[in-house]
Structure 1
């Protein structure tokens, strides 16, 4: 049986730039939220 309590206690990932919670996706290694990534992109 899996110990799901371990997974429930993992802290939420926060954006390095603004501190808001990052909604993670499978295999996500982002450290900034989508808003900050878009703000930092050069056009």
Structure 2
């Protein structure tokens, strides 16, 4: 159980990620491999 707790703490403490194109802070993708925000990738909200 301690190992799981350590992994969860690691992900909780990751710094905010910024878009590599415009520099805007990306809110919900701290743990993913993407490096561009939705706007720069041309994704619009419905």
TM-score w.r.t. the length of structure 1 is: 0.55
Deviation >4 Å, runs of 4+: none
Q: Which has the higher strand share?
A: 2
- Unpaired runs of 5+ residues, structure 1, are none
Count residues in correspondence.
36
Q: Which has the higher helix share?
A: 2
- Say what the alpha-carbon RMSD is for the aligned residues: 2.3
